[in-house]
């Protein structure tokens, strides 16, 4: 299995961050739920409507892997809720798409500062093995917290380039499931997509890798959604990237 991602076939491996390299996906999910539940409860009370909490399916279908404001917008649309777009400088208590997104970011950073970052050891082992084989590496994430998370985990020297939520915003790139962020990483590494591997745990991220025409898309199943990852376009699904490292 490891030979399928070796340097003879591929020149680079593009890694998602949260849920692939770092165990921060659950922190993001928890921050999203707290933010949306607080907002939805307040809205339901003010309109005298039943409160429908934010669910795991909501996270997987509308949030996971998308840029922050895209996630807010997509979820609210699914619930039939319309609020102003606002702007990136909106305070976290403002009822706008950007205000809600900023509130989620505030909650995430509180946990990051208090608890630090946990990494997946199997993923680190695979990342090191990839670099030892001479393949280039990139971290590709929709999060604007990429720099803080990578630094907290001590992984600054492990990637040749990065594309994150700030890159997406500054360059006007559509977020996942569009392939543009991965294609931008491949361009920066000067590799052809067909000679690059995408590693993702989010359904939207896997779909982005498939849409970009990448040579191999690996899904990392952290939530028991292997079938969904395959349907989204994963060529290979594993629960631990360490299993792709050959024995010494």
Mean pLDDT, rounded, for 151-167: 93
pLDDT at 112 over 60: yes
pLDDT at 94 over 90: yes
pTM for the model stands at 0.77
- Among 11, 18, 180, 201, which one carries the catalytic annotation? 18
Mean pLDDT, rounded, for 96-123: 90
Please report, rounded to a whole number, the percentage of residues in the chain having pLDDT higher than 90.
Answer: 81
Q: Encode pLDDT of 46-90 as tens digits.
A: 999 999 999 999 998 999 888 899 999 999 999 999 999 999 999
pLDDT at 64: 86
Mean pLDDT, rounded, for 40-47: 97
Confidence of residue 111 (pLDDT cuts 50, 70, 90): confident
Average pLDDT value over all residues in the chain: 93
pLDDT at 47: 95
pLDDT at 106: 94
* Helices assigned H by DSSP within 21-67: 25-47, 56-58
Q: Encode pLDDT of 17-26 as tens digits.
A: 999 999 887 8
Residue 146: which of 53, 18, 42 has the closest Cα?
18
Mean pLDDT, rounded, for 221-244: 96
- Among 16, 58, 64, 70, which one carries the catalytic annotation? 16
Token pair belonging to 112 = 């990051």
pLDDT at 2 over 70: no
Residue 223's contacts (CB-CB under 8 Å, 6 or more residues apart) are 60, 201
Mean pLDDT, rounded, for 100-114: 89
Residue 62's contacts (CB-CB under 8 Å, 6 or more residues apart) are 71, 74, 75, 78
18 included as an active-site residue: yes
Please report, rounded to a whole number, the percentage of residues in the chain having pLDDT higher than 70.
Answer: 98
Higher confidence at residue 55 or residue 112? 55
CA separation for the pair 21, 207 (Å, rounded)? 19
3-state secondary structure 171-195: HCCCCCCCCHHHHHHHHHHCCCHHH
For residue 4, give the DSSP letter: G
Q: Is the Cβ–Cβ distance between 99 and 83 less than 8 Å?
A: no
């Amino acid at each position: 299995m490891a030979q399928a991602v070796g340097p003879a076939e591929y020149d680079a491996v593009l890694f998602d961050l949260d849920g692939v390299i770092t165990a921060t996906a659950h922190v993001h999910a928890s921050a999203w739920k707290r933010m949306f539940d607080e907002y939805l409860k307040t809205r339901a009370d003010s309109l005298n409507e039943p409160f429908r909490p934010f669910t795991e399916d909501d996270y997987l279908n509308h949030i996971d892997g998308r840029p922050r404001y895209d996630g807010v917008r997509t979820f609210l649309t699914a619930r039939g809720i319309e609020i102003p777009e606002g702007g990136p400088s909106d305070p976290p208590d403002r009822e706008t798409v950007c205000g809600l997104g900023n509130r989620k970011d505030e909650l995430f950073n509180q946990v990051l500062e208090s608890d630090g970052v946990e990494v997946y050891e199997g993923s680190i082992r695979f990342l090191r093995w990839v670099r030892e084989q001479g393949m280039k590496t990139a971290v590709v994430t929709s999060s604007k917290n990429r720099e803080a998370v990578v630094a907290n985990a001590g992984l600054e020297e492990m990637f040749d380039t990065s594309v994150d939520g700030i890159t997406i915003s500054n360059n006007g790139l559509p977020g996942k499931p569009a392939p543009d962020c991965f294609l931008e990483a491949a361009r920066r590494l000067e590799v052809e997509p067909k000679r690059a591997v995408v590693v993702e745990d989010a359904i939207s991220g896997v779909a982005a890798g498939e849409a970009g025409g990448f040579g191999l898309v690996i899904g990392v199943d952290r939530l028991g959604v292997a079938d969904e990852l395959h349907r989204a376009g994963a060529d290979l699904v594993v629960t631990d990237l360490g299993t792709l490292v050959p024995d010494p």
